[in-house]
Amino acid sequence: MNRLATKTAIVLGASGAGSMGPAIARRLAAEGARVVVAARRREPLEALAREIDGAAMVCDVTNSAQLAALARFAADRYGGIDVAVNAAAQGHLAPLAETLESDFDRMMAVNYRGAFFFLQTMIRAMRQRRGGSIVMISTASVRAIFESHSAYAAAKAGMEHLVQAAALEHGRDGIRANVIAPGLTATEMSGGFVRMPGVIPAFTRELPLGRLGTCEDIAAAAAWLASDECFMTGAVLEVNGGLTLRRNPTMAEIQASMAAASPALAAR
């Protein structure tokens, strides 16, 4: 398909190998969009930009001045911004009572404060085009509560409220703002955890569709949200195989699954 042939897109968080940002950038480019990829690491960004015939710019989501510069770069290069995807994130896995203040502050800076300024910056740019689509990546554990995920999920829950506020306030400007909520997905951020023996079976037992989601699943949803076919705003797409119909596994269940998969782990 060529649904995005007239559009310019920004994808922030696009430097992680095997992660959602690059998959989304590739899918938007395949749909015809001119894509600006951004993240903190220059080399993988530039390689991705060459691959998709796009452009790259270093940008830290926690820095509002850099976000403004990213918007200016995309507008100067391609004439405006029609689609903005924020896939930048950092995770943290620790019990609530053991989460350090520095870890909590980092979760809020990247996943909440950065989201606020991303929304603000892209709305300002899109108002000049009289419309656009903003897509933010959240987590299914906002609703399917997962142990030891409190700081990360709380920041994402706050981000979802910001998206709803943006959708309500700027629908009159022709701007749509929506969220994709994946479950556990094999990405750079989760890779070490996902690769541990027994982890995937512990999660897939809870999934009605019987498998973990992929970055390509998220990219397909992002492409639809970016397109003019989408008549939706302020919504959360649960692209997680039905996880939120059930629940995430408990840590005890994950540990039991790991022990069953690995005698070495069981012996510890």
Active site residues: 152
* Pairwise CA distance, residues 201 & 184, whole Å: 12
Contact indicator for 174, 131 with CB cutoff of 8 Å: yes
Could you tell me where the DSSP H helices lie in the chain? 20-30, 42-52, 64-78, 101-108, 114-127, 150-170, 191-194, 199-204, 215-226, 251-261, 263-266
C-alpha 41 chain-centroid distance = 17
C-alpha 105 chain-centroid distance = 19
* Pairwise CA distance, residues 119 & 140, whole Å: 21
Contact indicator for 138, 156 with CB cutoff of 8 Å: yes
Contacts of 15 (CB under 8 A, 6+ apart): 21, 22, 37, 39, 40, 41, 44, 45, 48
Segment holding 82, helix H or strand E? none
